[in-house]
Amino acid sequence: MIEPLRLAILAAIEGRPSMGVVILASIALFFLVLAMAVYLIFLRAWHRLRHDYRRSRAVLYEPAVEMVLMDEPYEKIREALRPRRRGDADIVQEVVTQAMRHLQGPPFETFRRVSLELGFLRDNLEALKSWDRHRRGHAMERLGFLRSSQAVDPLVALMDRESLEMKLVAMRALAAIGDPRALPPLVAAALQVPPGLLPRLTSMILEFGPPGREAVLELINRRPGAFPTSATRDLLRELAQDWGAS
């Protein structure tokens, strides 16, 4: 079937290069369109399946949130959050971070302790080396919640290599961890970063408490012109001093 077609095409192209171009374009486009249609259907189906699967697994671990708030015994909570299947670890962490996002105090600490004991710290440190940006990003965010100093060095190392978006995620995580060791690289980044990002970075640095306050004051002094408006600079200076006072 291909042979007669090929001959017909060659006959049509005879002496008319523009026709050849058009036919070539047709064939290329046809396959492109086919691929896109398939991709579209596949994308939708895959998302749906993945979402449904993850939902069905997450439901198994969500009761743990209730247990934490009901002050159930720690061991019971830990066992409720232990991943039951390969691949569940990621889902458990999603459930946990979703709860931790809105909590502080004893429940937060409980989740944190469980996460550390279930080995999630190790998992996330491993995930930092992943080629998949999403895995790295989620890992960075979760390391921020885990507040472990062990994550500081890998995160700082990652900061240098990553694109802007991921760099900010890493910085946010470092700010959440709050280990003063992260301050010098953050300040170094803030000194180089273009002005538009400075207010964000300085407010992250302020989260470090008193040493952060020092760093911000230094930053403002070293880059006074770089802060977008004088109002921002003064506001930050005021915030830094307020935090010092409180």
Please tell me whether residue 107 binds other proteins under the rule CB under 8 A: yes
- Are 163 and 195 a contacting pair, CB within 8 Å? no
Which range of residues in 28-36, 119-127, 145-153, 208-216 is near other proteins by CB under 8 A? 28-36
- Are 24 and 58 a contacting pair, CB within 8 Å? no
What amino acid is encoded at 80 in this protein?
A
Tokens of 29: 């486009």
- Are 125 and 151 a contacting pair, CB within 8 Å? yes
Cβ 163 to other proteins, closest distance in Å?
A: 8
Please tell me whether residue 196 binds other proteins under the rule CB under 8 A: yes
DSSP one-letter string for 124-155: HHHHTT-S-HHHHHHHHHHHHHHT-GGGHHHH
Among 4, 15, 73, 105, binds other proteins (CB under 8 A): 105
Cα–Cα distance, 16 to 32 (Å, whole number): 25
Tokens of 154: 């890998």
Cα–Cα distance, 197 to 162 (Å, whole number): 16
Which range of residues in 118-126, 148-156, 218-226, 233-241 is near other proteins by CB under 8 A? 233-241
Tokens of 135: 């895995």
Hey, which residues between 47 and 86 contact other proteins (CB under 8 A)? Answer: 48, 65-66, 69-71
Residue nearer to other proteins on the CB measure, 119 or 160: 160
Cα–Cα distance, 98 to 158 (Å, whole number): 24
Residue with tokens 């931790």, as numbered in its chain: 100
Please tell me whether residue 232 binds other proteins under the rule CB under 8 A: yes
Residue nearer to other proteins on the CB measure, 65 or 152: 65
By CB under 8 A, the count of residues binding other proteins is 59
Residue nearer to other proteins on the CB measure, 95 or 183: 95
- Are 111 and 147 a contacting pair, CB within 8 Å? no
Cβ 21 to other proteins, closest distance in Å?
A: 8
Among 73, 102, 245, 246, binds other proteins (CB under 8 A): 102
What amino acid is encoded at 170 in this protein?
A
Hey, which residues between 145 and 184 contact other proteins (CB under 8 A)? Answer: 164-166, 168-169, 172
Return residues touching other proteins (CB under 8 A): 12, 16, 18-19, 22-23, 25-26, 29-30, 32-33, 36-37, 39-40, 43-44, 48, 65-66, 69-71, 98-99, 101-108, 133-134, 137, 140-141, 164-166, 168-169, 172, 193-197, 199-200, 202-203, 229, 232, 235-236, 239
